[in-house]
Structure 1
Amino acid sequence: MSEPKRPSVRWLNPASGFLNGYSHTVNPYVGCTFGCSYCYVRRMPIGLFHSEPWGEWVKAKPLDEDKFRREWRREASKGPLRLFMASVTDPYQPMEHEQRLTRRLLELMAEQPPHYLLLQTRSPLVMRDIDILRELGSAVRVSMTVETDLEPVRKLFAPHSPPLAARMRALRELTAAGVAVQAAVSPLLPASPDFAEKLGELAPRIVVDDFFRGDGSGGKRTSQLKIRQLYEQAGLQERYTAEYADQFVLALQEKLPRHEIRFSQEGFGPD
């Protein structure tokens, strides 16, 4: 008996909602093992109804390179490809060390470069792909999540995510290599008074988001995830406000007048 056919994978999925301005999203993996407490995907069907808790599982999508190329050419024929990678996972899962799936997708994209690609991650593993990112040139920007500069805060809210120092080093090395970057303070977590200056040394462009305007539901999803309780646990509940983010944006604008400072959806849009 012949083996059953695997379901066909669609790589370029139409973008909508918060990702207005993009033509497609690209998600190399299903699931995510970083397991950030505040992740909005926890309240989506894939997070709610999977057999394992969100943050404890991930699967690589099967890649048929010829099918990918055909899909790429078909979608490119309809108009400029403006891609967000990735919307419901991190493209640099720990599994990517061995799978090299994200890297292979980038190599395939470079054969016929997109109009724009925002590569959203919190993993320093992205540095491995500096060579292909440089080949993509002005078509790509790496958006590195740096929600705080305080390791105890990172460990409270996202204990399985990469250390902050490694992410900051990745931003410096990508910039030194000529790769366009932005620091994504998304969502803003409690930080030190020096956080704005530190960010200024890492990236020329900074985008800030919060739990109240960036979760797509006016803060309701975040409330369901009991994020306020984590703030209370740390004795930082006074920073669980939209005003805290507004004040931080003002501090960035005052201290970094030559930097590009953006907020929420505007900061994640295609150039």
Structure 2
Amino acid sequence: MEITRKNPNSFLTKTNGYLQGYSYSLNPYVGCSYGCHYCYVHKLPVALFKKKEWGTWVEIKDEKPNQFLGELKRAKKKGKVTIFMSSSTDPYQPLEAKELRTRRLLEVIAEMPPDFLFVQTRSPLVTRDIDIFQKLGDRVLVSITVETDRDDVRKIFSPKAPPIQARINALKKLNEENIPSQAAVSPVLPFSPNFTNLLRNATKRVCLDDFFLGDGSGGRRSQALGLSKLFSQIGEEEWFSPENIEYVKDLFLHVFAKDQLFISRQGFIPPDGSHEE
């Protein structure tokens, strides 16, 4: 793993495209040590410019004194501030345990809360910051990726990701502490018949997404990543289909109410009233 540091001109980046309803994205790092094989980011300019294998390098964004606080103040003067953290990295990847970059940014956010903050991760380390999330109340939603409950599948698609049970335990902890949170079954990977019940015991909200609705290109980007070969490798080719999302949705509706289940972009946009139309 190659670790470098940089001093960014800014931490907040204006958003467009898939991040509907957000005024800014916030990435504490560049690159991601998890290196999931299905991650769309390693085909984006931010990764291609590096010319190194995705998952083998991370840049830590170092902050100048009061830099982020100043950015946040200026953003709030311009109107509503809705932040997606993070769009091209995991804010709680292993480095965060030592670097505390995400924690430091969240401390500033708690001091000057935006209209809404969405936190996307696959790491149980997120529970470390429950104290800050509690200060934000309903201005935050913490989303933990749990694509499957099958460890054989995880080892094929995201071998460096945290253990599945640790993520489910993190969801339970957030739920017990009344932190607005959800399980992001995103992307949907082959799972066991008991998966829906496992999540039902851990969270009150689920978002489902697949390689066709969620990759921004109707599945072309996912095909280019060679994902169909990975599904074939485990003998689960039928799961790599645009029709599969309806089958999965029906399974989840057996244990979750309609207002607890969200599909693709619906599960990632800010709640009504917190974002500009």
Give the drift of 1:49.
2.9
Match in the other structure for 1:153: 153
Task: Please give the alpha-carbon distance, in whole angstroms, between the structure 1 residues aligned to 2:228 and 2:8.
Answer: 41
When residues 258 and 242 of structure 1 are mapped into structure 2, their CA distance, relative to the original with a 3 A threshold, is closer
Q: Deviations over 1:243-262 (max 9, x none)?
A: 22211112212332265111
Match in the other structure for 2:203: 203
Task: Please give the alpha-carbon distance, in whole angstroms, between the structure 2 residues aligned to 1:186 and 1:69.
Answer: 32
Task: Please give the alpha-carbon distance, in whole angstroms, between the structure 2 residues aligned to 1:85 and 1:34.
Answer: 16
Match in the other structure for 1:131: 131
When residues 194 and 52 of structure 1 are mapped into structure 2, their CA distance, relative to the original with a 3 A threshold, is same
Q: 4+ residue runs of structure 1 moved beyond 4 angstroms?
A: none
Q: Is 1:26–1:86's contact at 8 Å kept on the other side of the alignment? A: yes
Task: Please give the alpha-carbon distance, in whole angstroms, between the structure 2 residues aligned to 1:148 and 1:76.
Answer: 38
Gaps of 5+ in 1: 1-5
Task: Please give the alpha-carbon distance, in whole angstroms, between the structure 1 residues aligned to 2:228 and 2:221.
Answer: 12
Find the residue that maps to 1:17 and give its secondary structure. coil
Task: Please give the alpha-carbon distance, in whole angstroms, between the structure 2 residues aligned to 1:44 and 1:134.
Answer: 34
Task: Please give the alpha-carbon distance, in whole angstroms, between the structure 1 residues aligned to 2:256 and 2:161.
Answer: 28
Following superposition of structure 1 onto structure 2, how do residues 79-98 of structure 1 map, counting pairs within 5 Å?
79-98=79-98
Following superposition of structure 1 onto structure 2, how do residues 153-192 of structure 1 map, counting pairs within 5 Å?
153-192=153-192
Find the residue that maps to 1:32 and give its secondary structure. coil
Give the drift of 1:71.
1.1
Q: Is 1:204–1:259's contact at 8 Å kept on the other side of the alignment? A: no
Find the residue that maps to 1:207 and give its secondary structure. strand
Question: Given the alignment of the two structures, is residue 12 of structure 1 paired with residue 1 of structure 2, yes or no?
Answer: no
1:94 maps to amino acid: P
Find the residue that maps to 1:255 and give its secondary structure. coil
Gaps of 5+ in 2: 1-5, 272-277
Give the drift of 1:59.
1.2
TM-score (norm 2): 0.93
Q: Alignment length, in residue pairs?
A: 266
Give the drift of 1:47.
2.1
Find the residue that maps to 2:58 and give its secondary structure. strand
RMSD of equivalent CA atoms: 1.3
Task: Please give the alpha-carbon distance, in whole angstroms, between the structure 1 residues aligned to 2:30 and 2:89.
Answer: 7
Match in the other structure for 1:116: 116
Q: Is 2:116–2:139's contact at 8 Å kept on the other side of the alignment? A: yes
Q: Deviations over 1:163-197 (max 9, x none)?
A: 10000000001111121101000000000112122
TM-score (norm 1): 0.95
Percentage identity across paired residues of the two chains: 45
